[in-house]
A and B are shown apart, each in its own frame.
Chain A
């Protein structure tokens, strides 16, 4: 009884309509928050006493690193829902998450490397966080490669869902092992990166940026998901009215 709303929501025509209504809200809200956070982070926030203005890269690096993991977890949850309850919409959502998540992972790697240059003196350091991001990028690439290698969309959905679940179980192990590995190899000189006490005035724009990125992710997933629904439902009757 109480699950009817869920089935209604998971039905493609409803989802298509609802996503179309909420996407603009996500879009405009994320634009506003990202602009606000950019201004706050670049202009209003005080410069760091050690890193000067270089620390402002934090406001794009940390949110993108956060989104890269968030998108992977969302993707794996969607894949799991799709696999267990055989909901096509959930598989479509997982498919929509992957390229967005991969692009944020790439962004986190690139900004981390750029930030590392003035801080460490080299473009690349095998630091725990950068290495974890790199392995996460490999996981995304493997997922997308597997999805792309099937002709039958249903098989692609289910096979890549199994991979996403195996991957999400592995992510904490990879994270832990990489952390352990980097503490063994590097003396505690790289602690410039992770400030134990960061000023609250510096944190506010960070949280705004993270919220903005989240909404942006919501917008992009909604748009992509609408496309996926149309492609998957190409023979359904409801499409004749919607299109």
Chain B
């Protein structure tokens, strides 16, 4: 298969690749934001637990 032809997308290269790039960007953002939201809550919960342990000991 001709790679050059594939990247040209029949003259629509700019439009097609921008769309797919933007989609990748949005999916990556969602991935990052969801991970971060969970991770932040987890670290906060861990910290609270440690503090509680210190106080009780």
Contacts and interface: CB of A to CB of B under 8 A. Distances in A.
Interface residues of B, number: 33
Given A42-B20, A220-B30, A240 B49 contact: yes
A224 B31 CA distance: 10
A56 interface: yes
A104 B26 contact: yes
Interface stretch (A112-120, A135-143, A163-171): A112-120
B40 interface: yes
Given A114-B15, A114-B18, A243 B45 contact: yes
Interface extent on A, as a size class?
35 or more
A56 B38 CA distance: 34
B23 A226 contact: no
Given A226-B41, A227-B34, 15 more contacts: A52-B11, A53-B12, A54-B12, A54-B15, A103-B29, A107-B22, A115-B15, A223-B37, A224-B38, A226-B38, A227-B39, A230-B44, A234-B45, A239-B49, A240-B52
Closest 4 CB pairs of A and B: A230-B41, A53-B10, A223-B34, A227-B37
